[in-house]
Amino acid sequence: MSNVKELLDAGVHFGHQTRKWNPKMRDYIFEARNGIHIIDLVQTASQITAAAEFLKGIVAKGGKVLFVGTKKQAQITIKETAEATGQPYACERWLGGMMTNLKTIKRSINRMVELETMETDGRMAEFVKQEQSMLRRELNRLHIRLNGIRDLATKPDAIFIVDIKREHNALAEARRLRVPIVAIVDTNTDPTLVDHPIAGNDDAIRSIKAVLSAVTQPMVEARAAYEAASAKMKADAEAKAEQPESAPTETVAEAAPAEPAPAEEPAAESAPAEPPVAEVEAAPATPAEATPEASAEPVKS
């Protein structure tokens, strides 16, 4: 469980004015003080732990978590957290269809990569200055909006949102695609729209940073373990592929002499040849011996 004192020092417990509250946040509110709702940090700490375990499990399997936070208080922290954990992010502006129309977004990403390549290999310098300026402005605009999701080939396995009221478009797309949602929910929001809510102040920089830092370390560890396991599997596969192909041939050659075994079957078929031998032995042997005895009797008389 996260340290409640650290959350308290970061101001995670400060909610909105009581007149702006959402009744569905009732269970997460500790009290009202000076016209401001105070969030129950014991529950918040427990929610952070549960969310961290959930996100860790996704990253441990090689899944992707999309971090979203376009308000000024969240932009830097969102970007730093996503880069530290190797995950995609959107911190400047949420483009409509970023998840539901990913094919179109992917075309814009390909255009961004094309312009980056043109600038790197010098092809952009072949244009006149006015065209170069236009291309660089286009590249800068695409880079600001799409650089964070350039490696997002399919819909994410989960999404982390700071301020679901502001990021309502991202929330709607995630719910439409049934992408699990983790979010910081303030006292003016509806926590039932989120799969893994974290009750807390979503307006203060320190509060946002405290929550995100609590989920970062488990994700970093999970990613390192996944990459190590993937590297080991790849090395084992390459080692197996480099083994000499003659090994299977030798096995077949050694097994070849075992084939003469069926040749013994004809010997079993020769067994019926024994009865004629028995008939020859038992045949006219008695009459042949009886002849001398018969001739001996007249001599005796």
Q: Are 137 and 199 in a shared domain? A: no
Q: Are 169 and 39 in a shared domain? A: yes
Q: Are 132 and 10 in a shared domain? A: no
Sheet holding 29-33, edge to edge: 14-17, 36-39, 29-33
In a domain, 296, yes or no: no
User: Regarding predicted confidence, which is higher, 183 or 295?
Assistant: 183
The model carries a pTM of 0.76
In a domain, 174, yes or no: yes
How many CB atoms neighbour CB 106 within 10 A?
16
In a domain, 79, yes or no: yes
d(CA 216, CA 84): 8
Q: Are 34 and 86 in a shared domain? A: yes
232 has pLDDT over 90: no
CA nearest 174: which of 94, 110, 105? 94
269 has pLDDT over 60: no
The structure tokens listed for 161 are 């949102």
Host domain of residue 145:
100-152
Q: What torsion do the CA atoms of 50, 54, 57, 62 make, to the nearest 10 degrees?
A: -150
Q: Are 75 and 33 in a shared domain? A: yes
In a domain, 282, yes or no: no
pLDDT tens-digit map of 133-173: 999 999 999 999 999 999 998 999 999 999 999 999 999 99
pLDDT tens-digit map of 56-109: 999 999 999 999 999 999 999 999 999 999 999 999 999 999 999 999 999 999
Mean pLDDT of the chain: 85
CATH number for the domain spanning 116: value is 1.10.287.610
User: 203, 229, 255 — which closes off a domain?
Assistant: 229
pLDDT tens-digit map of 2-34: 689 999 999 999 999 999 999 999 999 999 999
pLDDT tens-digit map of 202-222: 999 999 999 999 999 999 999
User: 212, 229, 246 — which closes off a domain?
Assistant: 229
Query: What is the DSSP code (8-state) at residue 283?
Result: S
Model confidence at 299, in pLDDT bands (50, 70, 90)? very low
244 has pLDDT over 50: yes
Domains identified in the chain, total number: 2
Which residues touch 127 (CB under 8 Å, ≥6 apart)? 135
Q: Are 90 and 122 in a shared domain? A: no
CA nearest 4: which of 39, 52, 53, 51? 39
Model confidence at 292, in pLDDT bands (50, 70, 90)? very low
Which residue is associated with the tokens 């993937």?
230
pLDDT at position 280? 40
CATH number for the domain spanning 8: value is 3.40.50.10490
In a domain, 126, yes or no: yes
Q: Are 94 and 147 in a shared domain? A: no
**Beta bridge mates, 31:** 38
- Strand 29-33 relative to strand 65-68: parallel, antiparallel, unpaired? unpaired
Q: Are 148 and 9 in a shared domain? A: no
Beta strands in 61-174 (DSSP E): 65-68, 89-90, 158-162
In a domain, 216, yes or no: yes
Q: Are 139 and 220 in a shared domain? A: no
Q: Are 11 and 33 in a shared domain? A: yes
| Rg, the chain, Cα only | 41
Query: What is the DSSP code (8-state) at residue 202?
Result: S
275 has pLDDT over 60: no
pLDDT at position 242? 80
